[in-house]
Amino acid sequence: MPVILLVEDESPIRDMVRFALSRAGMEMLDAEDVARAEQILVSRRPDLILLDWMLPEENGIELLRRLRKDPERKDIPIIMLTAMAEEEQKVRGLEVGADDYVTKPFSPPELVARIKAVLRRATGADESGVIRIGELAMNTATHEVYCGETGIELGPTEYRLLKFLLSHPDRVYSRTQLLDYVWSDADAPEERTVDVGIRRLRKALQPGGCDQLIKTVRGAGYSLARKDQSA
């Protein structure tokens, strides 16, 4: 289930968005200002942030700017919410690194469609929601995973882990980072949890030979390599 963080000070909009997202099968975290959003971001990693421009205390663009400079969080997709008249803001928001913007007032279906489009782009999925690397293909709409012709059965955690790695290929993630990104809602997670998750994932991918894509980087962590770099 995609997790969306909404940063918005108007509670009727928060209620409307919560309703729209739950109907679309997404979980919403919400913050009424930038300070609260930053608190949430310490322990959770949303799949996308909906960020209102005009907020009390500090404006949304300040948070956008900080997140884009934060090595741990700079690749979280962000959609800015802007008021109709603020054409200039849209341009500035995109310049600072927003992935898209939605103009208020917006309709819930429009918002959900934009979220889905940005999530698709962020994971590298094609129009039908399929992420493909080598022989490995994940359909993010149906949750089906194939290695070549072989269907792969994954538990929910292994699915999340594989989706994260597929969406960020050729980058090495430490156990701590993976815990943070994939197991963020677990109780008392330990680094060993990651090793167990990787072992299960490799085992599940073995029948088609796709376990070879998951690399252990000694002393650093794990990565999913687009090409076999050991050769």
For Ca ion, the binding residues (CB under 5 A) are 9, 52, 54
Give min distance, CB of 181 to Ca ion, in A.
29
- Quote the least distance from Cβ 10 to Ca ion, whole Å: 6
Q: How many angstroms separate the CA atoms of 29 and 47, rounded?
A: 11
Residue 73 near residue 43 (C-beta atoms within 8 A): no
Q: CB nearer to Ca ion: give 8 or 47.
A: 8
Least gap, CB of 13 to Ca ion (angstroms)? 8
97: closest CA among 60, 124, 129, 123? 60
Q: Dump the DSSP string for 161-207.
A: HHHHHHHSTT--B-HHHHHHHHSTTSSS--HHHHHHHHHHHHHHHGG
Amino acid at 175: R
Nearer to Ca ion, 18 or 160 (CB): 18
Which lies closer to Ca ion via its Cβ, residue 59 or residue 193?
59
Least separation in angstroms between residue 33's CB and Ca ion is: 10
Cis peptide before 105 (omega within 30 of 0): yes
State which residue has the least CB distance to Ca ion: 54
Between 54 and 122, name the residue whose CB sits nearer to Ca ion. 54
Kind of pairing, strands 48-52 and 27-31? unpaired
Report in angstroms how near the CB of residue 55 gets to Ca ion at its nearest.
Answer: 6
CB closer to Ca ion, 50 vs 214: 50
Query: How far is 185 from 179, CA to CA, in rounded Å?
Result: 9
Q: Give dist(CA 181, CA 193) in Å, integer.
A: 13
Would you say 20 or 138 has its CB closer to Ca ion? 20
The SS3 assignment for 27 reads strand
Let me know if 34 is exposed, middle or buried by CB neighbors in 10 A (0-12, 13-18, 19+).
buried
Residue 145 C-beta: closest distance to Ca ion, Å: 40
